[in-house]
Amino acid sequence: MATATEGSAVQGNPMEHAGKMVDEAKALSGGISQKAGEVRAYVAELDIPGRIRENPLAFAGAALGVGYVLGGGLFSRPTGWFLKNGLRLSFLFAGAKALTSKAAATSAAKPSKPKRARPSGSKAAHEND
């Protein structure tokens, strides 16, 4: 069994150990203060209050969205319904846009044929009389 004197000899001088801990704590405090200053400068650069004054509805919408997600609404039935129907609508609009652009490209590529006037003595002219 080790005695108290043997234990202190193995671990070193407690005052030296305490001094090292104080030095490490000061270094850590200096690093934290430096990072805090960087974060303050970054936040001041963002000018969040000014941006909120410029676009209050965007920030209110973002706050509602974050609250909805944090409140557990992400995995709810209404969210599933909105996602399902939103995806359906987006595919519907994308398909309609693709079809209309393809139809426009096809009609632009083919010149339209001029309609020929039928002579007055033709069979179709007598049927209408």
Predicted confidence (pLDDT) per residue in 48-59, tens digit = 889 999 999 999
Over the chain, what is the mean pLDDT? 81
Q: ∠ CA(17), CA(21), CA(22), 5° rounding?
A: 120
Tell me the mean pLDDT in the region 72-83. Answer: 90
- Break the chain into its structural domains and give their ranges: 13-46, 57-104
Tell me the mean pLDDT in the region 100-123. Answer: 68
Tell me the mean pLDDT in the region 10-22. Answer: 83
pLDDT at 81: 92
Report pTM. Answer: 0.39
Segments in 47-76 forming alpha helices (H) = 48-54, 56-70
